[in-house]
Amino acid sequence: MAEQNNNENTTEAQDQTEAQSGIIINAVQMQSLDIGDRFTRTKTETGWKIKLEAAARVTINFMTSMRKFEITLMQNDIIERDGEDLILIRNQPADAYRSQRGVSSSPLARSNETPVASEPTEGRTV
């Protein structure tokens, strides 16, 4: 009987994931996953694992109500599909991500260098 308990404890330890912070999402509701930069994907027995090679904006689109979830992840963070769970593993403490600005390369995003007014307004009557 003691051997069986030791085997169960060993199995639980092997299935354990260590992370500084993370998010778990119901993957059954996920429609698509958009990753804004380089990554590598590895198949696993119960899904797949994606490791980010650079900081990227990740968008998860859901099937219900056209909802989406956007998050910025850093290099070496992992997105893992394990059965019905989608796990976002962040390798930095949660506070480090609060200071991150979006790394999106959207053409709609305005850079800090773009002037608000394109023409000078001096000398013009309104």
Determine, yes or no, domain membership for 46. yes
Could you tell me the residue range of the domain that residue 88 belongs to? 19-98
Residue 8 included in any domain: no
Spatial CA neighbour of 79 closest among 91, 70, 71, 87:
87
Q: Is residue 9 part of a domain?
A: no
Q: 89 in a domain, yes or no?
A: yes
Closest CA to 67 of 31, 108, 22, 35: 31
CB 33 within 8 A of CB 58: yes
Residue 123 pLDDT: 58
pLDDT in tens, 101-116: 544 444 444 444 444 4
pLDDT at 107: 44
Higher pLDDT, 45 or 107: 45
Token pair, residue 42, equals: 């590895």
Q: Is residue 53 part of a domain?
A: yes
How far is Cα 14 from Cα 10, in angstroms, rounded to an integer? Answer: 6
List, for residues 88-102, the tens digit of each pLDDT value: 999 887 777 777 654
What is the model's pTM?
Answer: 0.64
Tokens of 60: 């998860």
Share of the chain above pLDDT 70, in %: 64
Is 93 part of any domain?
yes
Tell me the pLDDT tens digit for each residue of 62-83. 988 778 999 999 999 999 999 9
42 or 14, which is more confident?
42
Handedness of CA 70, 72, 25, 81 (dihedral sign): positive
The mean of the pLDDT values for the chain is 76
Number of domains in the chain: 1
For range 37-45, the mean pLDDT? 94
